[in-house]
C-alpha cells in the first residue's frame, strides 16, 4: 500500500506537467489557427509616417498615369493634413536626394497641388527613362526521337537547331507638333518679340509645354482682336493661360528670367491665380519683355514682349501640355 502511494506521488507532477504543456499547445493552436487576431477599418492617419509616405508615393504614381487631380486630392485628404502640398514637396526633395524614381512624380503632384518652389519644378522636369521592352526568347522545340533502322532498346534523340531571337529596341514614333496660332501673324508683332520652339529638343513620347496660341493686342486694339479680353485699351500686361492635353485648365509653375539671368520672384510677377479670377488666366504681370517659359517639363519660350515706344499693348499666351 505504501509503495502504491509513493508511486502515485511520483507520477502526479509528471502528469501535471504533461497536461499543462498540452493545454498550452491547444491554446496557441486556437489563437493562431482557429481565431487569429484581425485588424480592420484602419484610417490613413493611424498609419506610421513611413507607411503614409508610401501611400503618398502610390498616389503620385497614379496621378502621373491618369492625370486625375481630383482623385489624387480625395485620396490625400484621408491623411487630414492642412498643408498636404508641403508634405508632398518635402517628400519629393527627399526622394530626389536619394535618387528614387518616384521623385519626379511626387514633384509633379506637388506642383498640381499649388507648390511654386523652383527646386520642385526642376525635379519635376527631370526626364524619367522610358522602359525598353525586351522580347521573350523563343523556346526551343521539344527534341524529336528518331529510332535507328535496327531495333534497339535506346532511341537516339535528334535536336533541331533554332534561330536566336534578335533584340530590337522599341522606339516611340514622334507625334505631329501642334501649330502655334499667331494672332496677328508673328511678322506683325513688335520686332523685339522672339519665339523659341522646344519641340526639336524633346524626345518622342515625352511631355512638354507647347505655345498653341499667342495674341498681340496693339495700340487701341485697332484689329479688334481683344475687345472682350482683360486689360482694356489702356492695358499693358502679359497674360498666361495653361491647359492640359484635353484643353481643360491646369496648373504649373511659371519661370520668368530677367536680362541679368536671375529668376523673377512673386514680387515681380505675382502668384498663380485661381480659376475664379476675373482675368480667366493662370498668371498676369506687366510686360517687361523678360524670357517666359513654363516649369515642370520642357517648354517653348517667348521673350521681348515689351511696350514698343511705350505704347499701351497687351499679350495673351496659351501653353498646352502635349506629348511629342
Report the pLDDT value the prediction gives residue 11, as an integer from 0 to 100.
73
Q: Are residues 120 and 190 in the same domain?
A: no
In a domain, 172, yes or no: no
Q: Are residues 194 and 111 in the same domain?
A: no
Q: Are residues 187 and 307 in the same domain?
A: yes
* Total number of domains in the chain: 2
Nearest CA among 27, 32, 60, 56 for reference residue 44: 56
Q: Are residues 199 and 113 in the same domain?
A: no
Q: Are residues 223 and 315 in the same domain?
A: yes
Task: Copy the grid coordinates of residue 26.
Answer: 491547444
Report the pLDDT value the prediction gives residue 131, as an integer from 0 to 100.
44
> Do the Cβ atoms of 197 and 300 come closer than 8 Å?
yes
Of 78, 96, 124, the last residue of a domain is: 124
Report the pLDDT value the prediction gives residue 132, as an integer from 0 to 100.
46
Report the pLDDT value the prediction gives residue 142, as an integer from 0 to 100.
59
Q: Are residues 103 and 187 in the same domain?
A: no
Q: Are residues 186 and 319 in the same domain?
A: yes
Report the pLDDT value the prediction gives residue 291, as an integer from 0 to 100.
96
Q: Domain of residue 282: give its range.
A: 181-323
CB neighbours of 137 closer than 8 A, spacing ≥ 6?
Answer: 164, 165
Q: Are residues 88 and 203 in the same domain?
A: no
The segments of the chain whose pLDDT lies below 50 read 127-133
In a domain, 224, yes or no: yes
Phi-psi region of 275 (alpha: psi -120 to 50; beta: other; left: phi over 0): alpha
CB neighbours of 201 closer than 8 A, spacing ≥ 6?
Answer: 298
In a domain, 261, yes or no: yes
Q: Residues in the chain, how many?
A: 324
CA pair distance 322, 197, nearest whole angstrom = 13
Report the pLDDT value the prediction gives residue 158, as an integer from 0 to 100.
60
pTM > 0.75: no
Amino acid at each position: 500500500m505504501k509503495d502504491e502511494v509513493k508511486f502515485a506521488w511520483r507520477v502526479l507532477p509528471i502528469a501535471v506537467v504533461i497536461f499543462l504543456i498540452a493545454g498550452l499547445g491547444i491554446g496557441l493552436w486556437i489563437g493562431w489557427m482557429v481565431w487569429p487576431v484581425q485588424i480592420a477599418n484602419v484610417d490613413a492617419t493611424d498609419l506610421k509616417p513611413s507607411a503614409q509616405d508610401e501611400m503618398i508615393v502610390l498616389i503620385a504614381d497614379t496621378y502621373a498615369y491618369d492625370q486625375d487631380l481630383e482623385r489624387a486630392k480625395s485620396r490625400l485628404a484621408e491623411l487630414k493634413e492642412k498643408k498636404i502640398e508641403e508634405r508632398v514637396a518635402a517628400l519629393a526633395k527627399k526622394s530626389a536626394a536619394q535618387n528614387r524614381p518616384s521623385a519626379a512624380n511626387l514633384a509633379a503632384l506637388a506642383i498640381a497641388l499649388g507648390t511654386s518652389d523652383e527646386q520642385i519644378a526642376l525635379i519635376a522636369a527631370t526626364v524619367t527613362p522610358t522602359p525598353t521592352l525586351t522580347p521573350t526568347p523563343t523556346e526551343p522545340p521539344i527534341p524529336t526521337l528518331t529510332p535507328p533502322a535496327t531495333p534497339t532498346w535506346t532511341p537516339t534523340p535528334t535536336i533541331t537547331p533554332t534561330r536566336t531571337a534578335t533584340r530590337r529596341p522599341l522606339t516611340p514614333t514622334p507625334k505631329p507638333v501642334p501649330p502655334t496660332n499667331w494672332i496677328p501673324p508673328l511678322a506683325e508683332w513688335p520686332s523685339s518679340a522672339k519665339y523659341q520652339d522646344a519641340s526639336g529638343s524633346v524626345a518622342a513620347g515625352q511631355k512638354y509645354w507647347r505655345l498653341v496660341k499667342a495674341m498681340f493686342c496693339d495700340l487701341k486694339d485697332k484689329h479688334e482682336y481683344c475687345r472682350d479680353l482683360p486689360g482694356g485699351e489702356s492695358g499693358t500686361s502679359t497674360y498666361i493661360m495653361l491647359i492640359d492635353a484635353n484643353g481643360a485648365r491646369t496648373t504649373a509653375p511659371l519661370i520668368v528670367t530677367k536680362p541679368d539671368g536671375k529668376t523673377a520672384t512673386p514680387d515681380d510677377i505675382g502668384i498663380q491665380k485661381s480659376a475664379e479670377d476675373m482675368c480667366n488666366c493662370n498668371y498676369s504681370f506687366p510686360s517687361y519683355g523678360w524670357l517666359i517659359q513654363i516649369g515642370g517639363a520642357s517648354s517653348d519660350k517667348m521673350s521681348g514682349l515689351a511696350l514698343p515706344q511705350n505704347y499701351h499693348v497687351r499679350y495673351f499666351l496659351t501653353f498646352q501640355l502635349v506629348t511629342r
